[in-house]
């Protein structure tokens, strides 16, 4: 059995203990850090939250045609429905996400799920356009808070060497949830082909979401966060609970007092993100994510063309409820096909993030996205089968590369490049800044598509993708395998961090 007396240093950080490799009686160390029951519980509850994000968002896409018909929603009001969720995410990421630096990771981990479950349950009973917008805004606030909080609750409680694959593994459940949400929406439409089917779609998620909310009360607070606040005694208790295993190691946790100085670097203010010490990290975390969202939401403009070519033409004029539901079922099938592509891309990201590194994958992904968009742009000059092939292949390449690279890596980096004292603010700001790109795209791209045309708009997205690769390179901070206590300590004039533990 492994020997618990692995390291004799009496004064260490929380992450040192989390990263500690157990030792056999003959002095041979294991090559990996076995996860404890508490670590797996934290991971599964965070992954469940990501699952519900994808589940509800994609199921809403299936539900909206029925909602629009029942409430008589106009095209202009449809824009408010889309904006409600995005604005909620903006506020949730900056407002609630940043509060995790003050009130703790566990507190906001619970609060966000309470908000999510409450507004999800309320959505089932919506009886007007206004009440629906309020519920979607509330759901958006919860989703926005989850961007930084879910990342931090995982990354601050697991070994550094496996942080990338475990954070992205949880993130991948967003795509799994999207596929499940689409499937449930499809099933409900088939079983219950009437206008109230959308209420049952939301209802299917309420009880599971409530169970996840209850489960989050039984996880430990982040010992890393407690230590950064100077609460050494509470951090020791939390670390002991986190690392409880059989056989027990480490046998005795003695934390250093030096980490309590973390608040001295401006951790209490958003302005800390823009001072010389952390400006590089703020740019790396937010600008590429913003550019990635421009392209990701922008390519969605062309999705109907692709789906119509691949799956068949929907009814041009909805003459009856039967036509509406038939079109909705067709859209659900198309959404499922898209989601499968997203899952494949994120699966490769999980496998490669801790091997090739975040920066390399993000740059490669941005370039791959640009190539996919160029392929799609070539379809403008051709017709027939070749046009379909170019659009479809460009779309598939874009979706695979964005999930292998920028979609996954921007999320991962945003929660890693800041020190513990301001990690919530930094990751929350990055997520909110990215969603500004999403909001701009949702409102401006339909107009630009008419005024500039498909070709120029696609070229604009190509430029955005290439710019993302350039910004990533110039402001790179490689976090692969780096101890969290040594992340975020790069000032504007220093060279990017390199990990001595990262796998080549």
**Residues 71-129: pLDDT tens digits?**
887 766 776 776 788 888 889 988 888 899 989 999 999 999 999 999 999 999 998 88
> How many other β-carbons are positioned within 10 Å of the β-carbon of residue 232?
18
| pLDDT, tens digit, 9 for 90 and up, residues 370-416 | 999 898 888 777 877 787 788 778 878 888 899 899 999 999 999 99
Q: Of all residues in the chain, what percent are helix, strand and coil, respectively (each to 5)?
A: 75, 0, 25
**The domain that contains 385 carries what CATH number?**
1.20.1250.20
Task: Give the domain range for residue 47.
Answer: 37-486
Query: How many domains does the structure of the chain reveal?
Result: 1
Query: For residue 301, is it within any domain?
Result: yes
Buried-exposed string 353-391: b where 16+ CB fall within 10 A, e elsewhere: bbebbbbbbbbbbbbbbbebbbbbbbbeeeeeeebbebb
Q: Are 413 and 285 in contact (CB under 8 A)?
A: yes
Arithmetic mean of pLDDT over the chain: 81
Euclidean distance between CA atoms 395 and 375, whole angstroms: 8
Cα 323 from Cα 65, distance rounded (Å): 11
Is residue 264 in some structural domain?
A: yes
Question: What's the whole-number mean pLDDT along residues 262-289?
Answer: 78
Residue 495 within a domain: no
Please name every residue paired with 12 in a beta bridge, in sequence order, or none if there are none: 255
How high is the pLDDT of residue 310? 47
- Asked if the structure places residue 504 within a domain, the reply is no
Residue 209 domain-assigned (yes or no) = yes
Please report, in angstroms and rounded to a whole number, the separation of the first and last CA atoms in the chain.
30
- Residue 334 confidence (pLDDT): 55
How much is the pLDDT for 475? 95
- The model's pTM is 0.83
């Amino acid at each position: 059995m492994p020997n618990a007396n692995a390291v004799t240093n009496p004064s260490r950080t929380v992450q040192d203990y989390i990263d500690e490799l157990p030792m056999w009686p003959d002095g041979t160390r294991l090559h990996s850090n076995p996860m404890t029951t508490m670590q797996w519980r934290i991971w599964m509850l965070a992954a469940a939250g990501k699952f519900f994000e994808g589940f509800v968002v994609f199921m809403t896409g299936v539900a909206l045609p029925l909602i629009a018909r029942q409430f008589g929603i106009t095209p202009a009001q449809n824009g408010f429905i889309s904006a409600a969720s995005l604005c909620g995410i903006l506020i949730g990421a900056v407002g609630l996400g940043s509060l995790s630096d003050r009130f703790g990771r566990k507190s906001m981990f619970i609060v966000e799920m309470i908000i999510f479950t409450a507004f999800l349950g309320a959505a089932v009973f919506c009886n007007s356009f206004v009440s629906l917008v309020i519920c979607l805004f509330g759901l958006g606030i919860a989703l926005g808070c989850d961007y930084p909080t879910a990342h931090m609750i995982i990354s601050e409680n697991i070994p550094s060497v496996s942080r990338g694959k475990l954070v992205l593994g949880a993130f991948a459940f967003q795509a799994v949830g999207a596929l499940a949400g689409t499937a449930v929406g499809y099933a409900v439409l088939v079983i219950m082909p009437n206008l109230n089917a959308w209420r049952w779609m939301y209802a299917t998620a309420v009880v599971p979401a409530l169970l996840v909310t209850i489960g989050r009360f039984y996880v430990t607070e982040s010992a890393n966060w407690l230590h950064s606040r100077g609460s050494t005694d509470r951090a020791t208790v939390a670390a002991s609970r986190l690392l409880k295993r059989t056989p027990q190691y480490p046998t005795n946790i003695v934390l250093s007092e030096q980490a309590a100085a973390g608040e001295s670097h401006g951790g209490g203010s958003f302005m800390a993100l823009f001072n010389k010490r952390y400006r590089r990290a703020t740019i790396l975390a937010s600008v590429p994510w913003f550019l990635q969202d421009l392209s990701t939401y922008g390519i969605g403009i062309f999705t109907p063309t692709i789906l119509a070519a691949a799956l068949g033409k929907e009814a041009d004029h909805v003459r009856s409820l039967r036509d509406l539901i038939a079109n909705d079922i067709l859209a659900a099938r198309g959404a499922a096909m898209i989601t499968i592509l997203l899952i494949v891309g994120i699966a490769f990201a999980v496998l490669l993030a801790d091997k090739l590194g975040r920066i390399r994958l993000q740059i490669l992904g941005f370039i791959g996205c640009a190539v996919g968009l160029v392929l799609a742009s070539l379809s403008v000059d051709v017709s027939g089968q070749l046009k379909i092939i170019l659009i479809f292949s460009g779309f598939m390449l874009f979706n695979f590369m964005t999930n292998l690279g920028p979609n996954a890596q921007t999320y991962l980096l945003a929660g890693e490049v800041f020190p513990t004292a301001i990690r919530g603010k930094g990751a929350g700001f990055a997520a909110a800044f990215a969603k500004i790109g999403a909001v701009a795209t949702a409102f401006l791209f339909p107009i630009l598509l008419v005024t500039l045309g498909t070709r120029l708009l696609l070229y604009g997205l190509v430029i955005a993708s290439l710019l993302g690769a350039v910004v990533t390179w110039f402001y790179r901070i490689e976090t692969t395998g780096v101890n969290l206590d040594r992340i975020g300590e790069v000032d504007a004039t220093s060279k990017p961090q390199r990990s001595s533990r990262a796998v080549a």
